[in-house]
């Protein structure tokens, strides 16, 4: 792994930690300190985790653009597979929820879409990379 990619990965990891910290802080504030606060303030606090997430996305985009032609092809295949898998998964869950076959809080389901996308991307990228070995 070249030094630039290593630095980007480290930055990505630290930003992910910041995301966890801001999420915890936002949830704690909303439950304990701002339960009676104005809706605008509650909205701003609730959206605090968006800042580190935006930095993570920026770092990931820079990593993809820094890759060579084969690495970008692998990334393209992986993100396509992840997009299809997550789309199908969310559609399937919505149909099951509509049919009342499963009961799942929609709020919790939405929170899991983003991490599920990147988990599937990770597995898909490993699979795609193996095809070129």
Partner 1 sequence: MNSRMRELRESRGWSQGELATRLGVSRQTINAIETGKYDPSLPLAFGMAAEFTLPIEAIFFPEATR
Nearest approach in angstroms of CB 97 to partner 1 is 42
Of the candidate residues 69, 84, 127, 128, the single one contacting partner 1 (CB under 8 A): 69
Nearest approach in angstroms of CB 113 to partner 1 is 30
d(CA 133, CA 130): 5
Q: Which two tokens stand for residue 124?
A: 């898909």
| Neighbouring residues of 96: CB distance < 8 A, sequence distance ≥ 6 | 102
Name the segment binding partner 1 (CB under 8 A); options: 68-76, 78-86, 91-99, 110-118. Answer: 68-76
By CB under 8 A, is residue 65 in contact with partner 1?
Answer: no
Query: What are the backbone dihedrals phi and psi of residue 49, each rounded to the nearest 5 degrees, phi first?
Result: -65, -15
* Cα end-to-end span (Å), the chain: 16
Q: How many CB atoms lie within 10 A of CB 101?
A: 8
Of the candidate residues 40, 68, 101, 102, the single one contacting partner 1 (CB under 8 A): 68
Q: Which of residues 72-101 bind partner 1 (CB under 8 A)?
A: 73
**Residues at the site binding partner 1, with contacts judged by CB under 8 A:** 2, 67-71, 73, 129, 131-133
């Amino acid at each position: 792994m070249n030094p630039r990619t290593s630095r980007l990965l480290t930055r990505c990891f630290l930003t992910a930690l910041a995301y966890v910290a801001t999420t915890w802080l936002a949830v704690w504030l909303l439950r304990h300190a701002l339960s009676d606060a104005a809706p605008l303030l509650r909205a701003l606090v609730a959206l605090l985790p968006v800042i580190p997430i935006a930095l993570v996305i920026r770092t990931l985009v820079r990593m993809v653009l820094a890759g060579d032609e084969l690495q970008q092809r692998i990334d393209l295949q992986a993100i396509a597979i992840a997009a299809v898998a997550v789309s199908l998964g969310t559609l399937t869950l919505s149909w099951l929820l509509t049919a009342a076959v499963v009961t799942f809080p929609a709020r919790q389901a939405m929170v899991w879409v983003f991490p599920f996308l990147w988990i599937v991307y990770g597995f898909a990228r490993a699979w795609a990379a193996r095809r070129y070995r």
